[in-house]
Amino acid sequence: MTADVSSLRTSPGKPVTHHGGFEALDEELDYLVPLSEVKGTIPDAVSGTFFRIGPGRNKIGGQEFGHWFDGDGMLHSVSFKDYGVVYRNRYVRTPKYLAETKANKIVMRSFGHNAPGGIRKNIGRLPANCANTNLVYHGGKLLALWEGGRPWQLDPATLDTIGEHDYDGKLGRFNAFSAHGKVNPRTGVYYNFGIRPSFRPRGALTGKGAIDLYKIAPSGHLVEKGSFEVDFLSFCHDFALTENYMVFFQSPIAMKSPVPWLAGLIPFDQAIAWQPELGMKVYVVRTADFQVEKVFTVDQPFVAIHFSNAWESGDGRIEVDLTRYEDFSVNEQLRNVLHSTGDTSAGRFMRYRLDLHSDTIEANEYKEALGGEFPQWDHRYTTQPTSVMYAACMMGDDSTFFDGVERIDLQTGKVKTHSLGEGRYTSEAMHVAPREEDDNQEGWLVSMVYDARDHSSEVVIFDARTLDEVAVVPLKNHVPFGFHCGYSPRSFLR
């Protein structure tokens, strides 16, 4: 069922490194892990489906892709049943995946590399959609998301690819649909956005950028679109959602010039750069009508990659938790993940308070938190005040990848950490809500953990309050390092 991993297993005395987590998983598998093989006890509340998405392969035919963002998207599902745990994985059948699988080589332009064949094969061509970054189950549809194109729909039970999803034609061919939408749990409305150049008047390029906005009803229908102009076309990965606002931190990661990229001379990754001289602004946009309510200027530009929860405090202030990087040097490491030597970047966790009355921004760092990424929270309270944030973290100065999880008390700043131990690495941990009768009323965390010692992966369930590992589900294969996860209380197995 699995590939030969003898060369990746660690022999006595051989250093344990994380690099095996970037190896491809070529097989598409379906199997049951019986309860007798589970270490510990799976909580009754964890009874639905855990999803994980990321690059399933980072090279093909001996050729490495130019960037970790270029890896072909693979979706993994873990269904918790009373008779055991069912694992399944499938590649998303994008045109890129199909064409390059058939040719067994790179044939398409991507975020971090051009297609072979010179200018003729690249001029005017957009990066190929990898469908590898995030996922959402909304309106009865499971969607694989990417930065620069439309989502791809999959069957949530079989993970078979249904096709590119355009919301009944309301997403045009050149409409981007970001990997980080947010659902308001009180209304069931799903908000997302996309970045594009600004065209006005009469279709002329202005040199500025625009952010398109989307409102999707609980039924899964796109019911409203809007847009607003920003100072430059920037790399904007995520946003914060409150009950009444979408909040965008526009970091100065921008195109130096679009001409070499459009001409097919360089890939998109080489066309963008950290340009702090452009400044940084925060746009607060009303969800009611997609109009800009307020624009803040940030004195010292930084990079905001991922956001945690956000809410309105009731006195004209907006509280936003996020992961901060001081510049975009992390991108150099993302280009070189297959050969990194322990220089993996981790962000700092910050609270930003935006005062809509005084037009001021106050920043505070969670100073006890370890450097980390992938902040998560109890999604039942999205847009409402929450008191805890969870994240993957790096346990020590010699950590080469995320080798722990942490719990940050947002009121006291106190931090609890859990080390995964030698050779074990993780990424995003999804929160699972408790049941009313549970003794643990903080819930649980579910995460995929890679063990470099034997090139295998486990599904690990943590007590969200103590971070103790309460259940470990051993898988028969490794799961390549990925980006984001999802959880549904529903089991989709048929």
Q: What is the residue whose two structure tokens read 């005062």?
A: 355
Q: What percent of the chain has pLDDT over 70?
A: 95
pLDDT of residue 401 exceeding 80: yes
Cα gap 472→479, rounded to integer Å: 15
* Radius of gyration from C-alpha coordinates of the chain: 22
Please tell me the predicted confidence (pLDDT) of residue 17: 82
Cα gap 155→346, rounded to integer Å: 34
Specify whether the CB–CB gap between 376 and 349 falls below 8 A: no
Phi, psi of 294 (to 5 degrees): -155, 150
Specify whether the CB–CB gap between 87 and 229 falls below 8 A: no
**13 in a domain, yes or no?**
no
Quote the domain boundaries for residue 282. 19-488
**180 in a domain, yes or no?**
yes
Specify whether the CB–CB gap between 308 and 378 falls below 8 A: no
Which letter does DSSP use for residue 3 in this model?
Answer: -
Phi, psi of 37 (to 5 degrees): -95, -5
pLDDT of residue 16 exceeding 90: no
CA angle, 210 then 216 then 220, to 5°:
140
Q: How many residues are given for the chain?
A: 494
**478 in a domain, yes or no?**
yes
Cα torsion 394, 400, 403, 409 to 10°: value is 10
pLDDT digits (tens, 9 = 90+) for 426-465: 999 999 999 988 888 899 999 999 999 999 999 999 999 9
Cβ contacts of residue 404 below 8 Å, gap of 6+? Answer: 370, 392, 393, 394, 395, 417, 418, 419, 420, 426
Specify whether the CB–CB gap between 323 and 349 falls below 8 A: yes
Specify whether the CB–CB gap between 1 and 25 falls below 8 A: no
Specify whether the CB–CB gap between 446 and 430 falls below 8 A: yes
**494 in a domain, yes or no?**
no
**Helix, strand or coil, per DSSP, at residue 278:** helix
Q: Quote the tokens at residue 372.
A: 């980390």
Assign 14 a pLDDT band (cuts: 50, 70, 90). low
CATH at residue 292: 2.120.10.30
Specify whether the CB–CB gap between 283 and 292 falls below 8 A: yes
Question: Average of pLDDT values for 193-217?
Answer: 80
pLDDT digits (tens, 9 = 90+) for 230-283: 998 888 999 999 999 999 999 999 988 888 998 999 999 999 999 999 999 999
How many CA atoms lie less than 13 Å away from 199 in the CB half-sphere?
A: 6
Question: Average of pLDDT values for 169-186?
Answer: 94
pLDDT digits (tens, 9 = 90+) for 121-158: 999 899 999 999 999 999 999 999 998 899 999 999 99
Q: How many CB atoms lie within 10 A of CB 162?
A: 14
Cβ contacts of residue 306 below 8 Å, gap of 6+? Answer: 180, 237, 238, 322, 323, 347, 373, 374, 375
Please tell me the predicted confidence (pLDDT) of residue 1: 31
DSSP H or E stretch at residue 262: helix 258-262
Assign 197 a pLDDT band (cuts: 50, 70, 90). confident
**4 in a domain, yes or no?**
no
Closest CA to 312 of 385, 381, 409: 385
Cα gap 59→106, rounded to integer Å: 8
The reported pTM is 0.94
Please tell me the predicted confidence (pLDDT) of residue 340: 74
How many CA atoms lie less than 13 Å away from 389 in the CB half-sphere?
A: 31
Q: How many domains does the chain have?
A: 1
**211 in a domain, yes or no?**
yes
What is 210-227 written as a DSSP string? EEEEEEE-TTS-EEEEEE
Please tell me the predicted confidence (pLDDT) of residue 348: 96
Cβ contacts of residue 38 below 8 Å, gap of 6+? Answer: 84, 85, 471, 472, 473, 474
Cβ contacts of residue 34 below 8 Å, gap of 6+? Answer: 83, 84
Please tell me the predicted confidence (pLDDT) of residue 390: 98
**358 in a domain, yes or no?**
yes
Residue 77 pairs in a beta bridge with 51, 88
Cα gap 297→311, rounded to integer Å: 20
Classify strands 253-255 and 63-64 as parallel, antiparallel or unpaired. Answer: unpaired
**8 in a domain, yes or no?**
no
